[in-house]
Amino acid sequence: MHGDTHPTALKVLQAVFGYDSFRGPQQAIIEHVMAGGDALVLMPTGGGKSLCYQIPALLREGTAIVVSPLIALMQDQVAALKQNGIKAAYLNSSLDYHEAVEVENQLRAGDLDLLYVAPERLATARMQMLLEQTRIALFAIDEAHCVSQWGHDFRPEYRQLSQLHQRFPQVPRIALTATADVPTRGDIMEHLQLQEAALYNSGFDRPNIRYHIAENQGNAKEQLLRFIREHHDGEAGIVYCLSRRKVEETAIWLERQGLTALPYHAGLPAEQRQQHQTRFLREDGVVVVATIAFGMGIDKPDVRFVAHLNLPKSIEAYYQETGRAGRDGLPANAWMAYGLQDVITLRQMQQDSSAADQQKRIEQQKLDAMLGLCEIISCRRQALLHYFGDHLDAPCGNCDNCLTPPETWEATVAAQKALSCVYRTEQRFGVTYLVDVLLGKSNERITRFGHDRISTFGIGKELTANDWKALFRQLIASGYLSVDMEGHGGIKLTANAKPVLRGEHPLTLRKPSHKPSKAKAARRGSKGASATHSHGPLWEALRQHRRELAEAQGVPAYVIFHDATLAELVEQNPQSLEALGAISGIGARKLADYGEGFLDVILTHQATEQTN
Ligand code: ADP
Ligand code: ZN
C-alpha cells in the first residue's frame, strides 16, 4: 500500500486495535518506518512500543520479522495479535518440528503479517535461507538493550543481528527498548549498526506509577498487608524480597491472611516456577512473592502494584522492578518498606563482595544513590528521572513526598551525640548497643566494657530508641558512618563525620515516622493510587465473563480485553453493539467475537439492578 500513509495508519489503529488516536511519538515513528527508514525507539515501559512496528507490519508489503528474546513474551504477543484478527506466528524452541515447518510454509506463502523469532534462531542457516525466500516488510528488534553488555540482560546472540543489515540492506529496521541510558544507547547504535537511524527518545517517566517509600516500623509484613488490603484488594502484584527464605515466609504468611500469594525464586523446581508464573499471568488477583529472578519478560499489563520488602541495590534495579507495574497506563503503586537493617545488610554485602575494587566502588555509588532516594524529602520522581539524565520541571504530585510532604527536624545536636557515642565506644559496636548507651541503659555488656562511665552514657534520653535507630540509619545512609567489614556490624566514623562533630555542618533530616494510630491509619487510607475502575457488581460480572473466555482459549485474561477496556465498559455502559465498538480496545475483530457476549452481561446486569 502506498500514497498518503497517515490516514491509513490511523484507520488501522482504529479498526484493528480499537484505539482512537496515537500516543506521543507513535505516529511519527510509524510514518518513518513505513517510508523505509531505520529507527531507534526509546520509550518507557507501557509507552506503546509494539504498535510502532505492528502497524507498519500490517501496511507494508510482506512479513515483519520481530526479534524477541523471551519465549513467554512471544507467545502472549502472538496470542494478543490473533485476537485482533492479525496473522501472526512465532518460531522458537517451544514448537515441535511439524509445527515449525507449518509456520515456515505460511511464511513462504506470504500468509503472515508478523513472525516472532528468537535471536539464536535467526542466525541459523535454515532461517537465513528461509528469509531469502521471503518478502520481508521490516525487522523489529525488541528489547534491543540485550545487545549491550552494560546492563544485566546481555544476550550474545543479539550481536549477530548486525548481519541483518548487511544481508538485507533495503529492509527497514526498528530497534526498541525501555532501557536507554547513554552507554546502552551507544552500544545499541554500534552493535546493531543503527548510526544512521532516526532516534525517538520519550524519556523514562512513568506518570501513572505512584512511588511510596515507607519506613519499616518493625513489622514490614503487616505494613505490606495493610497496603494491599487498602489499595489492591483482589488485584495482581509482585512483592520483592532479598532472600529465598524471606520469599517463602512472606508467601505463606500472605496466604494465611487470605490472599492468593505464590513464591518464586531460583531454588524452586523449574516446574513449580513455571506453574506459578502461569497462574500469575492467567488468573486474576494473584500476588507473586519473588526474588529478583522474577519479572524479566513478564509482560502482564495489569500488575497493579510492585512492593519491596527489602531495599534494592541500585536505582536501576528499583526502577526496572517497579516498572513492571501499570503497563496498561492505569494507576499503579510502587511501594517499599525499608529500615536500618536493610542499610546495614546491603552495606555489609557490598564490603564482603569479592568484586574488584573498581567494581566495588561502582556498586557503592549505586547503593548510595538508592539510599539517597529513600531519604530525600523532595519529589521522588524528579530525583529518579534526574538519576537517568531526564528532567522534570515541577514536582510530580504523584509520589509520597509530593502528596504528604515529610516533616524535617534540626538533627545536628542529636547527630553529634550519636557520632561521639560511636567514637567513645571505640567504633566497635552495632546500633542496638549504641542506642542502649545513649539511652543510659545499664546492662551486663555495657558495664563489662565500662561504657556506663563514658560521657555519652545516657545523654540521649530526649529521643526514643526508634528515633535513634532512624537517625543511625540516616547517618549510615548518608555516609557519615560506615559498617565494619569484618561482619560484626560494628559502626565506624567516616571522614564526613568530622565537620558534623565540629559543628561546621548542620544537618536537617527527615523526621522519623511513628507507628500510625488506628484512626490515623484509616485516614492514611486515601494515600496510594487506586485503579480508576469501581469494584462494583458490573465490574465483577465483566471480569467473570472475561475469565471464562480466557480459560476456554487458554490465554491470559488481558489478551481478551485489558482492564482499561472493562473499566470503560462500566463507565460508558454501552447499550448496543455499535456503542460497544466505540470503546477503546475493541477493534472490529473483537467486536465480532465478543461484542454480543459482553453486551449480554451489561444488559443482564441492568435487568437485575432494576428488579432489585
Ligand atoms: P511497551 O511495549 O512500550 O511496554 P505496549 O506496546 O505493550 O507497551 O503498550 C502498552 C499498552 O498501551 C498496551 O496495553 C497497548 O495496547 C496500549 N496502547 C498502545 N498504544 C496505544 C494507543 N495509541 N491508544 C491506546 N492504547 C494504546
Ligand atoms: Zn513527586
Say yes or no to pLDDT of 532 above 60: no
User: Which one of the ligands is nearest to 406 CA?
Assistant: 2
Fold of 209-373+385-397: Rossmann fold (3.40.50)
d(CA 22, ligand 1 centre) in Å: 10
Q: How far is the CA of 227 from the centre of ligand 1 (A)?
A: 28
Q: Which alpha helices (H) appear in 353-379, and where do they start and end? A: 357-375
Residue 4, pLDDT > 80, answer: no
449-478 exposure pattern, b = at least 16 Cβ within 10 A, e = fewer: bebbebebbebbeebeebbbbbbbbbbbbb
CATH 1.10.150.80-classified regions of the chain: 536-611
Ligand 2 ion: nearby residues, β-carbon < 5 Å: 379, 381, 395-396, 399, 402
Which residues lie below 8 Å from residue 306, measured CB to CB, with a gap of 6+? 237, 238, 239, 240, 321, 322, 324, 325, 332, 333, 334, 335
Q: What is the pLDDT of residues 460-496, one digit of tens each?
A: 999 999 899 999 989 988 889 988 766 567 899 999 9
With both helix axes pointing from N to C terminus, report the angle between 270-282 and 71-83 in degrees, rounded to the nearest 10. Answer: 30
The tens digit of pLDDT for each residue in 119-138 reads 999 989 999 999 999 999 99
Q: Give the pLDDT confidence of 483-492 residue by residue, as tens digits.
A: 876 656 789 9
Task: Report the residue count for the chain.
Answer: 612
* Beta-bridge mates of residue 114: 64, 88
pLDDT at 68 over 50: yes
Residue 22 in contact with ligand 1 by CB distance below 6 A: yes
**Span(s) in the chain for CATH 1.10.10.10:** 408-510
Query: Measuring CA to CA, which residue among 555, 567, 541 is closest to residue 593?
Result: 555
Position 95 pLDDT exceeds 50: yes
> What percentage of the chain reaches a pLDDT higher than 90?
68
Q: Does residue 159 register a pLDDT over 60?
A: yes
Q: Which ligand 1 atom is the nearest neighbour of the CA of 47?
A: 3
| Residue 389 pLDDT grade (very low, low, confident, very high; cuts 50, 70, 90) | confident
Range 183-189, long-range pairs (CB < 8 A, 24+ positions): 183/148, 183/150, 184/145, 184/148, 184/150, 184/151, 185/40, 185/42, 187/145, 187/147, 187/148, 187/149, 187/150, 188/40, 188/144, 188/145, 188/147, 188/148, 189/40
Verdict on whether the full-model pTM lies above 0.85: no
Question: pLDDT tier at 524 (50, 70, 90 boundaries)?
Answer: very low
CATH 3.40.50.300 domain range(s) in the chain = 9-201, 209-373+385-397
pLDDT interval class at 527 (50, 70, 90): very low
Instruction: Check pocket membership of 208 for ligand 1, CB cut-off 6 A.
Output: no
Across 375-381, average pLDDT? 93
Cell numbers found for residue 443 = 546492662
Q: Is 467 in the pocket of ligand 1 (CB under 6 A)?
A: no
**Three-class DSSP labels, 485-548:** CCCCCCEEECCCHHHHHCCCCCCEEECCCCCCCHHHHHHHCCCCCCCCCCCCHHHHHHHHHHHH
The residue contributing the CA closest to ligand 1 atom 14 is 328
For the CA of 178, the nearest atom of ligand 1: 3
Higher pLDDT, 551 or 180: 551
Ligand 1 atom at minimum distance from 17 CA: 16
**Ligand 1 lined by 460 (C-beta under 6 Å):** no
pLDDT band at 191 (very low <50, low <70, confident <90, very high): very high
Rounded distance from Cα 526 to ligand 1 centre (Å): 28
The pLDDT, as a whole number, for residue 465 is: 92
Mutate to test the pocket of ligand 1, among 22, 23, 300 (most ligand atoms within 8 A of CB): 23
CB of 47 closer than 6 A to ligand 1? yes
Q: Which CATH superfamily is domain 9-201 in?
A: P-loop containing nucleotide triphosphate hydrolases (3.40.50.300)
CATH assignment of 536-611, given 1.10.10.10, 3.40.50.460, 1.10.150.80, 3.55.10.10? 1.10.150.80
Asked if residue 365 has pLDDT above 80, the reply is yes
Whether 522 has a pLDDT exceeding 80, the answer reads no
pLDDT at 241: 94
- pLDDT at residue 26 tops 70: yes
Does residue 561's CB lie within 6 angstroms of at least one atom of ligand 1? no
Q: Ligand 1: does its nearest atom lie under 6 Å from the Cβ of 23?
A: yes
Angle (nearest 5°) at CA 319 between 315 and 323: 175
What is the spatial distance between Cα 287 and Cα 39, in angstroms, rounded to a whole number? 37
**pLDDT recorded at residue 521:** 42
Q: What confidence category does residue 346 fall into, taking pLDDT thresholds of 50, 70 and 90? A: confident
Output the average pLDDT for the chain: 89
| Amino acid 477: pLDDT | 85
CATH number for 408-510 (one of 3.30.420.40, 3.20.20.120, 3.40.630.30, 1.10.10.10): it is 1.10.10.10
* Ligand 1 centre distance from Cα of residue 429 (Å): 53
Q: Which residues pair with 408 in a beta bridge?
A: 510
pLDDT value at residue 487 = 56
* 244-273 pLDDT tens trace: 999 999 999 999 999 999 999 989 999 999
Looking up cell 482512537 gives 20
336, 214 in Cβ contact below 8 A? yes
**Nearest one of 116, 121, 157, 107 to 139, comparing CA atoms:** 116
What's the mean pLDDT in 271-298?
87
Residue 413: the pLDDT is 96
**Which pLDDT value is given to residue 579?**
95
pLDDT category, 608, cuts 50, 70, 90? confident
Residue 119 CB less than 6 A away from ligand 1: no
